[in-house]
Structure 1
Amino acid sequence: MTTRQQLAVYDFYTKTIRSTIGLRGFTLQLRVEKAATLDELRQLRAPYLEAVQKAKGRDKAALLAQQLDQLLDTPLPD
């Protein structure tokens, strides 16, 4: 069962991978699409932030880390 929180995290990854990493994020995007649980999406946090930092720098990675952590830590009502 997919929760609203899981969908929100999935959407966040999808939109920001496309806009910040571009085609270099293709493999990461496939991993996001394959993730079946919130925990699996949570495990992609580190590789995602590393890729963002390489593509856009430390400041952008820190900003997106804040947004992602808020989504990961705040359950949304179903």
Structure 2
Amino acid sequence: MSTTAPTTTTISVSGMTCGHCVSAVSEELEALEGVEAVNVDLNAGGISTVTITSGKELSPAEIGEAVAEAGYLVVANEA
């Protein structure tokens, strides 16, 4: 029986300014298959850090599409 360790992806998202923004982005990302948790560090400077923990590797494209669906833009993607 093998267990895969969760994958953590950190992205920077522009335009998030309030709790509603956090909810919208979190909801879209949590809908992706395998996502276990989403943690948002809302930055007053306009670029927020979002950490996604998932049971499988997520592609930058699917993350970007989910964030765009919420109305925001991924400006940086880190491992």
TM-score (structure 1 length as normaliser): 0.39
**Higher-helix-fraction structure:** 1
**Higher-strand-fraction structure:** 2
TM-score (structure 2 length as normaliser): 0.39
